[in-house]
Amino acid sequence: MMEQAQCAAEVYVERTLALIKPDAIENANEIEEIILRSGFTILQRRKVVLSPELCSDIYAAHYGKMFFPSLTAFMSSGPTVAMIIARHQAVAYWRELIGPADSVKAKETHPGSLRALYGTDELRNAVHGSETTSAAEREIRFIFPDATADPIPSGQDAVTYLSKFVNPTLLSGLSELCKRKPTDPITWLASWLIANNPNKPKIREDLIKEPENL
């Protein structure tokens, strides 16, 4: 159990921005299910209509290109679902999942990608994904200005935290669970952890006063 916790903690977790564009908004629920099945966690989600100015900020890297005006006009033409998603190597895995920018080419080369499944062409290609971790953090701040940028605990910091604050109580609970073998182990373990929480406030007996007789 300890080795599994350490291996899991050593996996680096990062976050990225995912946008479901106006052309795919009707398929948002299906796309979100695929995101979750692909190992991502949706940290934050909001439905928003992006202003042309905000679209220009998000796609600043493409400023000056011929398609830039059409891109910003399209992205501000209707509602967009914006999400902060996280997992190991989130930026790379999300870019792989969405596929090539041109949905027509994606249907040939990456038929299982989101752009192949839900996109139409290079402009109306269903979803957006940040290209780098620095771009992801910049784009997240545009749409989720209140989102915290604190790193998700990983590596040795996570191992130390789990070893000190979680594993001793959890291992005791799992040992007791194996002895009892309850019919609903998840509920039983949850109740046991609550009852045996070492951080639960303790009330001093000498401070408890008996109610006075009226």
| Whole-number Å distance between alpha carbons of 147 and 144 | 5
Quick one: residue 199, left, alpha or beta (phi over 0 = left, psi -120 to 50 = alpha)? alpha
Helices 133-143 and 90-98, axial angle in degrees (round to 10): 80
Is the CB of residue 106 less than 8 Å from the CB of residue 97? no
Catalytic site residues? 128
Q: What is the DSSP letter of 210?
A: P
Is the CB of residue 25 less than 8 Å from the CB of residue 119? no
